[in-house]
């Protein structure tokens, strides 16, 4: 790939008077400024007594770019309190970011922030040179620090479309770098990390925060849960390859397709197959029968009415009654029973109902027996935040007609879904 242009800007409040852009390169477009400011303010309000000596996060920047953002306290005041935060934004094409293996830490290490610069910055370039490959020795070293189960479980959770949160009083760049080291390249290009943040307005996929409020992070896998995360094929394969020192297998695992890539490939194959079927049907279509034949055979029957399964998303209510403690307990038991009978594996212990629903959805989306059309629908219900919307969306994804029936309570909805999953698993082939 030719050398990559990287535009940059610095945003901060070093002398007081409000945050503002202090410097930017010529190619950092004025139309980018509102989005860039939104990323910086999305870092969150500083909690009392929390410092940020330096961290990195990455976010999509419009439809065709990625922002790698370096954040740090710019000095201290007379009482040794952290000064105002500074943000250095590096903007590069999304295609180039993927060519760089979706590694924001690599980009940040290569391009240290010029905090003292003001006015005009130069447009940076990433040279045309081979990227350093990840080695089995690096994987072995990452797993030798006493938290290998957390790292491997966390990596598997991210691959399963989950999200991770860690609590630390300060940035944890080593922790995030080691998790990032273990992920396939394709997954890294679709996930957005933060080695530290004061809040989660930007909806990171994996982040470190001073305090993870249980309600705000209800659908995140926490550190203690990551260590007990159900062992998946990728996690197990990577661990075996690392213990065997098998560089070839490690390379193959890092080069595997992500679930979203596999899904897109399946859609392309499905579309091509449908197109070929239409063309073949048109070419082999027999001539219309004569009037006498039509009279002899009688009128054609009316086409059967079928349920709509091609809607982009189900039509669900925006609000549902809250779940009390008794309902949550019953739902927890029902979801664990569903996972067991549907062959999805044991669900994490001490997980909330919201987390269990996310686990069920993620595991169904990657299960070998899940049809392609169902995977497509499962992908479209990820946007639902409310647990009852998510639960009814799961029924919709499996074309269960009662998905929007208000007479069914939540446990009955789980029972309908379980019945459908068990029946589909029992089908030959």
pLDDT digits (tens, 9 = 90+) for 77-120: 555 567 789 999 999 999 999 999 999 999 999 999 999 999 99
pLDDT digits (tens, 9 = 90+) for 391-403: 999 999 999 999 9
pTM across the whole model: 0.63
Tokens 């994987």, residue located? 139
- Name 24's bridge partners: 9, 120
* Ranges under pLDDT 70 in the chain: 1-2, 16, 76-81, 258-312, 427-429
pLDDT at res. 314: 81
pLDDT at res. 364: 87
Q: Which of 93, 368, 67 is nearest to 233 (CA)?
A: 368
pLDDT at res. 176: 96
| Three-state secondary structure of the chain | CCCEEEEEEEEECCCCCCCEEEEECCCCCHHHHHHHHHHHHCCCCCCCCCCCCCEEEEEEECCCEEEEEEEEECCECCCCCECCEEEEEEEEEHHHHHHCCCCHHHHHHHCCCCCCCCEECCCEEECCCCCCCCCHHHHHHHCCCCCHHHHHHHHHHHHCCCCEEEECCCCCHHHHHHHHHHCCHHHHCCCCEECCCCCCCCCCCEEEECCCCCCCCCCCEEHHHHCCCCCCHHHHHHHHHHHHCCHHHHHHHHCCCCHHHHHHHHHHHHHHHHHHHHHHHHHCCCCCCCHHHHHHHCCCCCCCCCCCCCCCCCCCCCCCCCCCHHHHHHHHHHHHHHHHHCCCCCCCCCCCHHHHHHHHHHHHHHCCCCCHHHHHHHHHCCCCCCHHHHHHHHHHHCCCHHHHCCCCCHHHHHHHHHHHHHHHHCCCC
CB contact at 8 A, 175 and 188:
no
pLDDT at res. 302: 43
Rounded Cα–Cα distance for residues 94 and 192 (Å): 13
pLDDT at res. 275: 67
Tokens 């063309």, residue located? 279
């Amino acid at each position: 790939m030719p050398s990559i242009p990287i535009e940059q800007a610095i945003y901060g409040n070093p002398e007081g008077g409000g945050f503002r852009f202090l410097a930017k390169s010529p190619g950092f477009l004025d139309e980018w400024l509102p989005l860039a400011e939104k990323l910086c303010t999305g870092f969150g309000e500083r909690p009392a007594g929390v410092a940020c000596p330096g961290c990195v996060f990455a976010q999509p920047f419009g439809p065709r770019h990625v922002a790698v953002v370096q954040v740090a306290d710019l000095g201290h005041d007379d009482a040794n309190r952290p000064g105002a935060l500074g943000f250095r934004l590096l903007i590069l094409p999304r295609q180039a970011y993927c060519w760089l293996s979706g590694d924001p830490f690599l980009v940040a290490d290569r391009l240290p922030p010029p905090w003292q610069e003001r006015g005009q910055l130069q447009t940076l370039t990433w040279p045309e040179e081979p990227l350093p490959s990840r080695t089995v020795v690096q994987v072995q070293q990452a797993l030798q620090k006493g938290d290998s189960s957390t790292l491997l479980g966390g990596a598997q959770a991210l691959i399963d479309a989950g999200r991770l949160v860690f609590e630390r009083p300060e940035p944890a760049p080593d922790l995030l770098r080691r998790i990032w080291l273990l992920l396939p390249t394709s997954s890294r290009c679709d996930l957005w990390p933060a080695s530290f943040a004061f809040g989660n307005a930007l909806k990171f996929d994996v982040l470190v925060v001073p305090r993870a409020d249980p309600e705000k992070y209800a659908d995140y896998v926490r550190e203690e849960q990551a260590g007990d995360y159900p062992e998946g094929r990728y996690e197990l394969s990577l661990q075996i390859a690392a213990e065997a020192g098998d560089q070839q297998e490690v390379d193959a695992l890092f080069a595997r397709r992500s679930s979203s890539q596999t899904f897109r490939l399946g859609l392309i194959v499905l579309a091509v197959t449908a197109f070929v079927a239409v063309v073949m049907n048109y070419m082999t279509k027999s001539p219309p029968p004569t009037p006498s034949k039509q009279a002899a055979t009688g009128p054609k029957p009316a086409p059967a009415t079928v349920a709509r399964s091609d809607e982009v998303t189900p039509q669900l209510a925006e609000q549902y009654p809250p779940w009390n403690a008794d309902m949550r307990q019953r739902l927890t038991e029902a979801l664990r029973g569903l996972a067991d009978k549907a062959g999805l594996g044991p669900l994490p212990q001490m997980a909330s109902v919201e987390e269990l629903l996310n686990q069920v959805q993620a595991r169904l989306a990657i299960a070998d027996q899940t049809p392609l059309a169902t995977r497509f629908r499962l992908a479209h219900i990820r946007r639902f935040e409310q647990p009852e919307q998510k639960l009814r969306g799961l029924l919709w994804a499996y074309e269960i007609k009662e998905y929007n029936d208000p007479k069914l309570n939540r446990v009955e909805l789980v029972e309908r879904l379980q019945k459908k999953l068990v029946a589909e698993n029992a089908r030959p082939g």
